[in-house]
Structure 1
Amino acid sequence: MPYLQAEGGRIYFVEQRPVRTSIPPPVIFIHGAGASHQVWIEQVRTLGRERRSIAVDLPGHGRSEGSGAHRIETYRDIVVQFMAGLGLDRTVLVGHSMGGAIAQSVALAHTEKIAALVLVGTGARLRVQPQILAGLESDPRRTIELIAAWGRAPGAPAEFLRQDADALLRTPVSVIEGDLRACDAFDIMQQVNAITLPTLVICGAEDLMTPPKYADYLHRQIADSQLALIPAAGHMVMLEKPEEVGERIKAFIANRTGRGRCPVMT
């Protein structure tokens, strides 16, 4: 099993490489609060046919050691350590929700290490409702089930919601709470326009947790950006529409050297 030693313990990751020569740059996928590399499996397979594609478990998540973090900056530094440990000079960072916050933080602090960004279901500020944080203490299972229920577009099959809740429940509640507190403290509304990297912003059109207005703000603030709204999808857009999300990311990276402001993708 692939592990990499980092501050606070070993970091687990999965990767796929093409049979023939890999096209640079490689891609690193970062999951959201309470999740794991599993949310990115389909996209790793799609992109891995052309270029080295890696999905990481943050500390305390999935198969990684550690106890999570309470600050986005802590996760940022671990991702940078992870990149260095793999000997990667420049990568594309793909982040979902909290992972998108981490990717933005890396981009602002270490622009030279990033070739492009893909921000999925995220924002420049991620506020968490106080009742969610309180609920994790008083009734964690019910609260996690509610989080899972809000994660997909309305009308999603109950079986999928159960699967999402079960996946979150495999993460220690203390780690989920730390993640959500890190999200709640994240606010780069006044700094995000300093991101100059080619950026693809993806959002489910029916995202209830980080609604399209969050994605639109990112698109308006990041000069060299594209915005892709995915119909009939919610916050877990990469699970709800795996092929479309994978192909959007693949096409964006292939054309990332284009100049000027990119339009909305429909």
Structure 2
Amino acid sequence: MTATAFCLHALGSSSEEFATLRARLAGTLDLIGVDLPGFGRSSAVTGTTVEEMVERVERAIGRSGATEWVLVGHSMGGKVASVVASRTIDGSNGLFGLRAVVLLAASPLSPEPMDDERRQTMLGWASDGEIGPDEADTFVSANTDEQLPPEPHAMAVHDVQRAAPEAWTAWLVRGSREDWSDRFPPNPVPALVLAGAADGDLGPDAQRTLNLPHWPNGEFGVVEGAAHLLPWERPDDVADRIRDFWDRRVAPGPLVPAATVRVIASPRVSARTRGILAVRSLPDDPGASPQVLTDRQLTTLRAVARVVVPQDDRPVDLALRVDAQLADGLGDGWRPDGLPVDVDAYRAGLDALAPEADRGDDHLATVLDAVSEGEHTPAAGPFDAEQLRAWAEDASVDLAKQWVAHPATMAEIDYDGFANGGDGVRKQGFLLLGAGQREAWEPAGAAR
């Protein structure tokens, strides 16, 4: 099943700007354009603040029924996409299934940098109730590195002309200046941030300093021969970069089944739990470096994971997640007697098993069986057979816990215990513990 990409356009544009990308990404992503209020075929009556635009997008995603989806945001749409992504990853908007974000010359969560003289000129274009063809042509030409071919140029100019003046003005006066940067922590969703080499205010420097820091798992690229209107100017280059990013960084990860996605997105699950599961479901970065282990130790731990927790062809990178657990000091609070602190124990245990892992998974499985019986003494290192056995048991538990914690695994083992109340009247957990209090259905004088 092809994932859905919800595409949010730039100021003065519409969903039509993604038509060229839609054909080029067919088979990789199914692009659906969303006209933001006051642009394209959408009325400005529904509201032109960033919050109102965000809510429109969230409703569109919710109504679509998509269970594996991506956000693509261009310029103005980039700010909206960033807010939607942040509210999805913290669970507050009731959506689930976000896999990645693509930002094209995006307006940041912070106020957008814009020359004040140019802002006033653009406001003047809409002051008489409509944007004329000459002004629209000037806007498109000013935001491209080279003149567009006749057909896309005409389409881009037409979009600017049909923009509602109140929506155009609202973005320039208020929306672009709204500051959302302190409302959300950095977002762990995999992100591709692209800038046009010849862009002005939202060019490479602005994307590096204003957008990229919000995405710790983000990748950055510069599109040569383009200014601000990337989807119109360089559709082949942009599509190739998105496809490569998807195939390499996102697609290999496990998928949460559609039925489970719908349960997690339902009112039966609290926002906090939904956010935790959203983070757990994000694809692991196959190119990530370990935080506390060496590359060789991580490779060995991955081999141990393949033996201890066999998975299908779209596995969770359990070893990378355990490494992150170690870096954060998030163990279970217990340590087998006679072992050093977790990080040192892992390093020693993995060093002891590295020569065995080099001989293949089948050999390693045989060795781990002997280790579990206390019958394998490491050739080198600080551990004796009993210490290695204790550590291997602890490591196996860590790997298994990381596997079970993933929403895809929960679906596989038919676990839905997280859907036990939500944030409404039937909240998760206990609202009141009242020993000796009679339940409403119990008769007066009932024995306790």
Which TM-score tier does this pair reach, normalised by the shorter chain? 0.7 to 0.9
After TM superposition, list the pairs within 5 Å mapping 1:25-40 onto structure 2: 25-40=3-18
Q: Deviations over 1:228-257 (max 9, x none)?
A: 101111000111100110111122122323
1:216 aligns with 2:208: yes
Q: Deviations over 1:140-182 (max 9, x none)?
A: 34654443232111x4369576653333012122221123234
Q: Is the 8 A contact 1:121 1:210 kept in 2?
A: yes
Letter in 2 for 1:233: A
After TM superposition, list the pairs within 5 Å mapping 1:3-18 onto structure 2: none
Give the aligned partner of residue 259 of structure 1: 285
Letter in 2 for 1:102: V
Letter in 2 for 1:71: T
Give the aligned partner of residue 236 of structure 2: 243
Letter in 1 for 2:212: H
Q: Percent identity?
A: 21
Q: Is the 8 A contact 1:28 1:94 kept in 2?
A: yes
Give the aligned partner of residue 34 of structure 2: 56
Please identify which structure carries the higher strand content.
Answer: 1
Letter in 1 for 2:285: R
Question: Structure 1: 5+ residue runs without aligned partners?
Answer: 1-21
Q: Is the 8 A contact 2:104 2:193 kept in 1?
A: yes
36-45 or 184-193: bigger deviation:
184-193
State the superposition RMSD in angstroms: 2.7
Give the aligned partner of residue 229 of structure 1: 222
After TM superposition, list the pairs within 5 Å mapping 1:64-79 onto structure 2: 64-67=42-45, 69-79=47-57
124-133 or 90-99: bigger deviation:
124-133
State which of 135, 139, 144 in structure 1 corresponds to 2:121: 135
Relative contact order higher in (CA < 8 Å, ≥ 6 apart): 1
Q: SS of 1:52's equivalent?
A: strand
Letter in 2 for 1:116: A
1:184 aligns with 2:176: yes
1: distance between equivalents of 2:155 and 2:56? Answer: 28
Distance 1:216 1:137, change over 3 A: closer
Letter in 1 for 2:147: A
Q: SS of 1:48's equivalent?
A: coil
After TM superposition, list the pairs within 5 Å mapping 1:115-194 onto structure 2: 115-124=99-108, 125=110, 126-136=112-122, 138-140=124-126, 141=132, 144-153=136-145, 155-156=146-147, 164-190=156-182, 194=186
TM-score normalised per structure 1: 0.79
1: distance between equivalents of 2:46 and 2:118? Answer: 18
Distance 1:133 1:228, change over 3 A: closer
1: distance between equivalents of 2:170 and 2:190? Answer: 30
Q: Is the 8 A contact 2:44 2:164 kept in 1?
A: no
158-167 or 85-94: bigger deviation:
158-167
Give the aligned partner of residue 104 of structure 1: 82
How many angstroms does 1:192 deviate by?
6.4
Q: Is the 8 A contact 2:99 2:189 kept in 1?
A: yes
2: distance between equivalents of 1:158 and 1:260? Answer: 39
2: distance between equivalents of 1:173 and 1:100? Answer: 21
Q: Deviations over 1:68-90 (max 9, x none)?
A: 64321211111000011111244
How many angstroms does 1:215 deviate by?
1.4
TM-score normalised per structure 2: 0.49
Which structure has the bigger radius of gyration?
2
